[in-house]
Structure 1
Amino acid sequence: MQINKYYLAALSSFIIWGFFSLALKPLHDYPSLDILFYRVFLATVLLLIINLIFRKKIIKNDLQILKNSQTNQKFKAIFLTAFGGLLLILNWFLFIYAVNHVSLKSASFAYLICPIITTILAFFILKEKLSSWQWFSVFLCILSCAILSFGHLSDLFYSLTIAVSFALYLISQKNNKFDRFVVLTVQMVIASIIILPFFPFYSGQIPSEPIFYILLIVIVIVFTIIPLFLNLFALKGINSSTVGILMYTNPLINFVLAIFYFKEEINQMQIIAYTLILISVIIFNERFFFKKK
């Protein structure tokens, strides 16, 4: 089976997200909620400008399709888009809360168990089929996560909540048939509306340093709009379970950066766990890596 554009889109999105820390680390002195607020607001403005100026025909086409759809199809499209926006902002907020008030490990661990949850939910909700090798891959993922969670069971609840919210986002958007860029724009508008009432009470002083806005633009374009669009585009052509397992590309890159770029200390258990994750990703996608007769 040849690697197609949908598979490459999913893989590219998680490779991009894997390098997110390079843009985020220089902003460690700024409150996490401020980064979240400005990230969502700026992404929403940019998406609206792009759609309203360059993609008017596509918007009109989607509106016409929605208008001509049956009532149940209209409700499904509106619900999936709105629900996706809610899940997206919930996931980001829970991640920030975990980093600030629980532990960084709980937030990081969430994106290690998210692919497993996505794969299992896709099996039960979307009825996506898994081969015996893919189930074995899921088992290896569970084993690796069990190794990493050893001694940190108290953080598991927050990790599960974060993971489930993003897994549900991926699964819910699988059957959303409208233009992915328009869908993403609507979802970011919904996210902005949700957090706007909290901005006056929970935001800090307006940043004045140019580096904040330069890095924020990079975060919004490179690490928010592009990978989210690639993610939604990939769901048009491949299973949610495949997208979920490819998510492990993200923590694997983070792990490599932590060792060789940020010079963080690692232990033997982490090496074993991440090696198992790498093996599980290869096994899950063996039909892409190895041609079968």
Structure 2
Amino acid sequence: MRPNNYYLAAFSAFFIWGFFSLALKPLHNYPSLDILFYRVFFSVALMVLINVVFRRNIMLQNWDHFKTMTAKQKQSVIMLTLGGGVFLSSNWFVFIYVMNHVSVKAASLAYMICPILTTILAFFILKEKLSKWQWFAVMISTFSCVLLSLNHFEDIFYSLITAATYAMYLVSQRKNSELDKFLVLTIQLVFTAIILLPFYPNYSGDLPTESLFYSCLLVIVVFFTIIPLFLNLYALKGINSSAVGIMIYINPILGFLLAIFYYHEHVSTLQLFSYFLIMISIIVFNEKLIFSRKSKSISTEIEGLK
């Protein structure tokens, strides 16, 4: 499988997530915990059904593979899988709260900070190497996030929590490569559902009766949970965490554009400049991929003229 396919998977995942507010905002009158409960429970039901009906052989193959692992390998797979579930569910709850009760811009800011944290964590934990150009891109991103946080301390507080949980999820799942990615995601969501289930009776609101809630939730589960998460985990099979992390910027840029043109949130010149710097940092971080493809294209053209 060519590396470009993994980049395409990462790009597609964060492009899809960029439009998450369109399905989430209509549910702003519902408590954040309720949205989290039903998102997790519905996702688990659908994913378990898919695995049992269409992927039974893959489940058996992965179980056989798991049984052949050493005790240390089994412990690692279990810890990474269940730990990933905790990071993921934490990220979902904070993101839902910020999106519906703080602002779309604050939610976007979280995913501005996330690539920086992911890159730094991957460097220290996974020992992933970065070129000088990539470190320069991180510096540009950091500077732009500092500009975005000026006079918005509440935003930066929630954004840091949201960013840290997803950065830890990405880094941990980069090392979790022994089992099928869709199966891993299913196990993580089942584990999350088990954690949330005892809290449901006491912390959930009245059972939603409006069709709007269930139609939006169906869209969230299929198009903003299962599909992009699978693409995200698939991308981690072929490219490193920092490369996937930098793709996260696609999400907040789209969210920022929606905040301006769809939700009509106020945006300053400084914020516009900061987002422009983010776009520059994406190009700089991926300069090797962009310019190597360009060079290859030019070489092909030259060969064709001979």
Shorter-normalised TM-score: what interval? over 0.9
Q: Which sits farther off after the overlay, 13-22 or 88-97?
A: 88-97
- Alignment-derived partner of residue 273 in structure 1: 274
Gap change, CA 1:100 and 1:21, over 3 Å in 2: closer
Q: How does 1:1-293 map to 2 (within 5 A)?
A: 4-98=4-98, 106-153=106-153, 155-177=155-177, 178-291=179-292, 292=295
Measured after TM superposition, the shift of residue 155 of structure 1 is 4.8
Structure 1 unmatched runs, 5+: none
Measured after TM superposition, the shift of residue 103 of structure 1 is 6.6
Amino acid at match of 2:145: C
Measured after TM superposition, the shift of residue 261 of structure 1 is 2.4
Cα distance in 1, alignment partners of residues 201 and 29 from structure 2: 20
Does the 8 Å CA contact 2:109/2:159 hold for their aligned counterparts? yes
The alignment yields a C-alpha RMSD, in angstroms, of: 1.8
Gap change, CA 1:260 and 1:3, over 3 Å in 2: farther
Q: Please give the secondary structure, in 1, of the residue aligned with 2:175.
A: coil
Does the 8 Å CA contact 2:6/2:235 hold for their aligned counterparts? yes
Measured after TM superposition, the shift of residue 34 of structure 1 is 1.2
Does the 8 Å CA contact 2:108/2:255 hold for their aligned counterparts? no
TM-score (normalised: structure 1) = 0.94
Cα distance in 1, alignment partners of residues 108 and 261 from structure 2: 18
Measured after TM superposition, the shift of residue 102 of structure 1 is 6.7
TM-score (normalised: structure 2) = 0.90
Cα distance in 2, alignment partners of residues 32 and 94 from structure 1: 8
* Residue identity (%): 58
Q: In the TM superposition, what whole-angstrom CA distance separates every residue of 1:171-225 from its partner, at most 9, and x where no partner exists? A: 1011212100000000000110111111111211111111211111111000000
Amino acid at match of 2:222: I
Amino acid at match of 2:224: F
Q: Please give the secondary structure, in 2, of the residue aligned with 1:205.
A: coil
Does the 8 Å CA contact 1:87/1:168 hold for their aligned counterparts? yes
Cα distance in 1, alignment partners of residues 164 and 33 from structure 2: 21
Q: Please give the secondary structure, in 1, of the residue aligned with 2:237.
A: coil
